[in-house]
């Protein structure tokens, strides 16, 4: 599997610098002539002199994501002129008739990649397209933009039908297709593209360094065990960095990747299709996922929330490491005080877990949420007190204030979930957001003199427990 860096630096001289900077993380270089300021034979020769042995040359049309508007005659003339020995592949568009370029490429022993870029979804009859290109002795490349779990499924079905074609490239752009970039083997791709750190060459590209250091792309093979995290959105999650670091430290041939999911039922099919051994669950799927599982631990039934799923001999099993992960930082600091009053801000899946955890620990819980009805419903289910959001909260009456809502996270970093509440400075404030590390809410609490616990502590504590579950099924035979 090749790690191919797309040269995107503004200046051509800087592109050469970027090759040198990324050499330890790449196996191939893609020269996008539409991204070059002055494309000429001297520049191509300079790239060939310092690049890895595999070099791809292309000139992307604007309708395929290119950035230079030139006539088709000019574009094809430049490609033909710059083809030279040392180039491994020439990337030409599907349907393009360019006999002079094709003849020259074959004479020089340069293989032809025949590509189709679909920015509107997944092309219909994608498997037929792959078959047709391969039958003509060229390498099929499909770069599509799945926008839902259903379109991801369509893409994977096409990949499955063309599994016998060894040389092909199938990549998903955008958030739903991100997993194909960091685990291209799951789509049977011979390579993946990454950025040189300057700017992305296509939607969803990450840097060559991140691709290697976080996702250990060069170590992935047919025996790699895959885990992941599902959510919507999900690419902001730091869980891949945490779990992949631990997999590497333990010497496990396993990789943890993010899956953008808008339909949990469809994802369960995808997970089985890809051989995913386990996954974390984040918003908004912690409750919906339960109905998709074969077994769950008692806490999942009690709380009504699941954040960890593993594949066992008996089927899909769901657990909840959030409640222990939430409580552990409080226990560690001897900060749990049975009988004390706690205010929980929010009424989603995370809040549900927190309310149950605090109730089990013996605290008296009050719920407030921007939508009163949700808070009232959760309070009724859990035995907590409900407080209307429009009514002022009494200052100093809570020992612990827990912020569980997404207010403060991107793109809502300017939102304070409880602007009318005045901290008196004696409260212990526990905000479960970890990106960004500081929010308007936590900074306001700290400025008032409150002790603040950040979301990273819970993130790490629950991840430790998740990792134990993931490790327990690492040696399970995949179906």
Q: Is the CATH number 3.30.70.1050 carried by domain 2-222? A: no
* CATH number of 242-322+461-472, picked from 1.10.10.10, 3.40.50.10860, 3.90.340.10, 3.30.365.10: 3.40.50.10860
| Residues forming CATH 3.20.20.70 domain(s) in the chain | 2-222
| Residues forming CATH 3.40.50.720 domain(s) in the chain | 324-457
Report the distance separating Cα 111 and Cα 138, nearest Å.
7
Q: How many residues does the chain have?
A: 479
Report the distance separating Cα 150 and Cα 128, nearest Å.
19
* CATH number of 324-457, picked from 3.10.20.30, 3.30.2350.10, 3.40.50.720, 3.40.50.300: 3.40.50.720
| Residues forming CATH 3.40.50.10860 domain(s) in the chain | 242-322+461-472
Closest CA to 1 of 321, 281, 215: 215
> What pLDDT sits at residue 200?
80
375-384 residue pLDDT tens? 999 999 999 9
Query: Strands 315-319 and 308-312, how do they pair?
Result: antiparallel
Burial of 114 from C-beta contacts in 10 A (0-12 / 13-18 / 19+)? buried
Residues identified as active-site: 286
Half-sphere exposure of 53 (CA within 13 A, CB side): 1
pLDDT in tens for each of the 479 residues of the chain? Answer: 899 999 999 999 999 999 999 999 999 999 999 999 999 999 999 999 999 999 999 999 999 999 988 999 999 999 999 999 999 999 999 999 999 999 999 999 999 999 999 999 999 999 999 999 999 999 999 999 999 999 999 999 999 999 999 999 999 999 999 999 999 999 999 999 999 987 787 888 999 999 999 999 999 999 999 999 999 999 989 999 999 999 999 999 999 999 999 999 999 999 999 999 999 999 899 999 999 999 999 999 999 999 999 999 999 999 999 999 999 999 999 999 999 999 999 998 889 999 999 999 999 999 999 999 999 999 999 999 999 998 989 888 999 999 999 899 888 899 999 998 999 999 999 999 998 999 999 999 999 999 999 999 999 999 999 999 999 999 886 54
| Model pTM score | 0.92
> What pLDDT sits at residue 385?
96
> What pLDDT sits at residue 294?
98
Query: Strands 308-312 and 278-281, how do they pair?
Result: antiparallel
**Does residue 4 contact residue 27 with C-beta atoms inside 8 Å?**
yes
């Amino acid at each position: 599997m090749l790690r191919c860096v797309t040269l995107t630096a503004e200046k051509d001289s800087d592109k050469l610098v970027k090759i040198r900077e990324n050499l330890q993380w790449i196996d191939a270089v893609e020269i996008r002539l539409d991204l070059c300021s002055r494309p000429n034979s001297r520049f191509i020769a300079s790239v060939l002199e310092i690049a890895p042995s595999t070099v791809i040359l292309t000139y992307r049309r604007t309708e395929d994501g290119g950035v230079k508007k030139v006539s088709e005659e000019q574009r094809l003339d430049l490609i033909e002129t710059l083809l030279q020995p040392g180039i491994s592949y020439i990337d030409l568009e599907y349907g393009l008739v360019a006999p002079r370029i094709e003849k020259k490429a074959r004479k020089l022993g340069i293989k032809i990649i025949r590509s189709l870029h679909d920015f509107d979804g997944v092309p219909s009859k994608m498997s037929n397209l792959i078959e047709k290109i391969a039958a003509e002795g060229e390498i099929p490349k499909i770069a599509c933009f799945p926008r839902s779990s259903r379109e991801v499924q369509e893409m994977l079905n096409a990949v499955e039908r063309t599994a016998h074609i060894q040389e092909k490239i199938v990549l998903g752009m955008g958030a739903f297709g991100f997993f194909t970039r960091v685990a291209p083997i799951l789509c049977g791709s011979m390579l993946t593209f990454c950025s040189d750190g300057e700017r992305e060459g296509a939607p969803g590209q990450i840097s060559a360094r991140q691709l290697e250091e976080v996702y250990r792309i060069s170590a992935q093979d047919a025996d790699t065990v895959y885990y992941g995290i599902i959510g919507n959105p999900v690419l902001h999650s730091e869980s891949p960095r945490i779990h992949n670091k631990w997999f590497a430290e333990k010497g496990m041939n396993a990789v943890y990747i993010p899956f953008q999911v808008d339909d949990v039922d469809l994802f369960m099919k995808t997970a089985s299709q890809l051989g995913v051994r386990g996954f974390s669950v984040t918003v908004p799927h912690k409750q919906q996922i339960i109905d998709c599982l074969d077994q769950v631990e008692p806490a999942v039934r009690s709380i009504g929330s699941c954040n960890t799923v593993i594949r066992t001999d008996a089927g899909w099993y769901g657990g909840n490491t959030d409640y222990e992960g939430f409580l552990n930082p409080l226990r560690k600091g001897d900060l749990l005080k049975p009988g004390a009053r706690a205010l929980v801000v929010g009424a989603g899946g995370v809040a549900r877990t927190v309310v149950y955890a605090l109730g089990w620990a013996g605290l008296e819980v009050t719920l407030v949420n921007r939508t009163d009805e949700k808070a009232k419903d959760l309070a009724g289910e859990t035995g907590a007190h409900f407080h209307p959001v429009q009514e002022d909260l009494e200052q100093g009456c809570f020992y612990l204030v827990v912020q569980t809502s997404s207010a403060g996270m991107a793109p809502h970093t300017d939102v304070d979930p409880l602007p009318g509440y005045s901290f008196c400075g004696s409260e212990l404030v526990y905000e479960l957001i970890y990106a960004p590390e500081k929010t308007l809410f936590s900074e306001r609490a700290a400025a008032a003199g409150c002790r603040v616990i950040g979301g990273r502590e819970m993130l790490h504590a629950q991840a430790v427990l998740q990792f134990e579950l993931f490790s327990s099924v690492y040696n399970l035979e995949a179906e």
